[in-house]
Structure 1
Amino acid sequence: MHSGPKEFPTLNSKEKDNLVDELTQYGLANGLIMYPEGFKSFEADLAPVTIFPTPFPRSEFEKAKALANPFSTLYGNIVSEKKWLLNIAEELSKSDPGFTGKLYECYKKAKNEGIAQNVSLALTRSDYMFDTITKEIKQVEYNTVSVSFAGLSNKVGRAHKYLNDSGLYKYGKRYYDEAELAISESPDGLAEGLGEAARYYNNHFADSKNTIVLFVIQPSERNAFDQRLIEYSLLRKFDVRSKRVELAKFTTRTKVDKESRRLYLDNDEVSVVYYRSGYSPSEYNNEAAWDARVLAETTTAIKCPSLLVQLSGAKKIQQLLTNPQILDQFYPPSSSYRKELESTFCKIYPLDGSDKAQNARKLAFEHPENYVLKPQREGGGNNIYKEDIPGFLNSIPESQWAGYILMELIHPPLEKNVLLRNGKLFSDGIVSELGIYNSLLLTKILAWP
Structure 2
Amino acid sequence: MSNSSGKYPAFPEISPDEIESVLMPEVSQWGLTNGLAMYPPNFNISQGQLAPTTLYPTPFPRQSFEQAISVQTLYNELYAKISQDQDGWLSKRIGELAEFDPEFTGKLWNLYLDAKKRGISQPLALGLFRSDYLLDAETYLAKQVEFNTVSVSFGGLSTKVGQLHRFLNETGKYSLDTGAPFYQQEIPVSDSTALLSNGIAEAVKKFKTAETHTLVAFLVQKGERNVFDQRALEYELFQKHKIKSVRLTIHEIGIKTTIDAATKRLYYKATGEEISLVYFRAGYSPQDFTCAQDWENRLVLETSYAIKAPNLLTQLAGVKKIQQILTEDAILKQFIPNDNDREKLATSFVKLYPLDDSELGKQAKKMALASPGRFVLKPQREGGGNNIYKSEIPVFLKSIDERDWSGYILMELIKPEPTTQNIVIRGNENLREPILSELGIFGWVLFDDKQLYFNEYAGWLLRSKSSTSDEGGVAAGFGCVDSVVLY
Interval containing the TM-score (normalised by the shorter chain):
over 0.9
SS in 2 for 1:292: helix
Q: How does 1:124-273 map to 2 (within 5 A)?
A: 124-170=129-175, 171=177, 172-177=179-184, 179-201=185-207, 205-266=208-269, 267-273=272-278
Deviating more after overlay: 165-174 vs 318-327: 165-174
Q: 1:215 to 1:188 in 2, by over 3 A?
A: same
Aligned partner of 1:353 in structure 2 is 357
1:31-74 deviation line (CA, Å, top 9, x unaligned):
11001111111211110000000111101111111111111011
Q: Which amino acid aligns with 2:180?
A: K
Is the CA contact (8 Å cut-off) linking 1:372 and 1:389 kept in structure 2?
A: yes
Is the CA contact (8 Å cut-off) linking 2:333 and 2:342 kept in structure 1?
A: no
Is the CA contact (8 Å cut-off) linking 2:64 and 2:140 kept in structure 1?
A: no
SS in 2 for 1:358: helix
Aligned partner of 1:32 in structure 2 is 36
Which of the residues 267, 278, 302 maps onto 2:307?
302
SS in 2 for 1:88: helix
SS in 2 for 1:415: coil
Deviating more after overlay: 243-252 vs 429-438: 243-252
Deviating more after overlay: 415-424 vs 247-256: 247-256
User: How far off its partner does 1:421 sit?
Assistant: 0.2
User: How far off its partner does 1:444 sit?
Assistant: 4.4
Is the CA contact (8 Å cut-off) linking 2:284 and 2:383 kept in structure 1?
A: no
SS in 1 for 2:247: strand
User: How far off its partner does 1:14 sit?
Assistant: 2.8
How many residues align? The count is 444
User: How far off its partner does 1:133 sit?
Assistant: 2.2
Aligned partner of 2:102 in structure 1 is 97
Q: Which amino acid aligns with 2:219?
A: V
Aligned partner of 1:320 in structure 2 is 325
Is the CA contact (8 Å cut-off) linking 1:78 and 1:85 kept in structure 2?
A: yes
User: How far off its partner does 1:265 sit?
Assistant: 0.9
Q: How does 1:255-404 map to 2 (within 5 A)?
A: 255-266=258-269, 267-334=272-339, 336-404=340-408
- TM-score normalized with structure 2 length: 0.89
Is the CA contact (8 Å cut-off) linking 1:53 and 1:160 kept in structure 2?
A: yes
Q: Distance in 2 between matches of 1:261 and 1:394?
A: 48
Q: Which amino acid aligns with 1:251?
A: G
The runs of 5 or more residues in structure 1 that have no matched partner are: none
**Percent sequence identity over aligned pairs:** 44
Q: Which amino acid aligns with 2:38?
A: M
Q: 1:379 to 1:133 in 2, by over 3 A?
A: farther
SS in 2 for 1:337: helix
Q: Which amino acid aligns with 1:300?
A: Y
Q: Which amino acid aligns with 1:259?
A: A
Is the CA contact (8 Å cut-off) linking 1:3 and 1:180 kept in structure 2?
A: no
Which of the residues 37, 62, 66 maps onto 1:62?
66
Is the CA contact (8 Å cut-off) linking 1:3 and 1:56 kept in structure 2?
A: no
Structure 1 runs (4+) greater than 2 angstroms displaced: 1-4, 443-449
Q: Distance in 2 between matches of 1:400 and 1:160?
A: 46
- TM-score normalized with structure 1 length: 0.96
SS in 2 for 1:282: helix
Q: Distance in 1 between matches of 2:363 and 2:230?
A: 43
1:216-253 deviation line (CA, Å, top 9, x unaligned):
11001100110000000001111111101111221222
Is the CA contact (8 Å cut-off) linking 1:28 and 1:46 kept in structure 2?
A: yes
User: How far off its partner does 1:254 sit?
Assistant: 1.1
1:190-215 deviation line (CA, Å, top 9, x unaligned):
111110111100xxx21313101001
Which of the residues 41, 51, 63 maps onto 1:47?
51
Aligned partner of 1:120 in structure 2 is 125
Q: Which amino acid aligns with 1:176?
A: Y
Is the CA contact (8 Å cut-off) linking 1:315 and 1:377 kept in structure 2?
A: yes
Q: 1:157 to 1:396 in 2, by over 3 A?
A: same
1:400-422 deviation line (CA, Å, top 9, x unaligned):
21111000001111002110001
Is the CA contact (8 Å cut-off) linking 2:354 and 2:406 kept in structure 1?
A: yes
SS in 1 for 2:25: helix
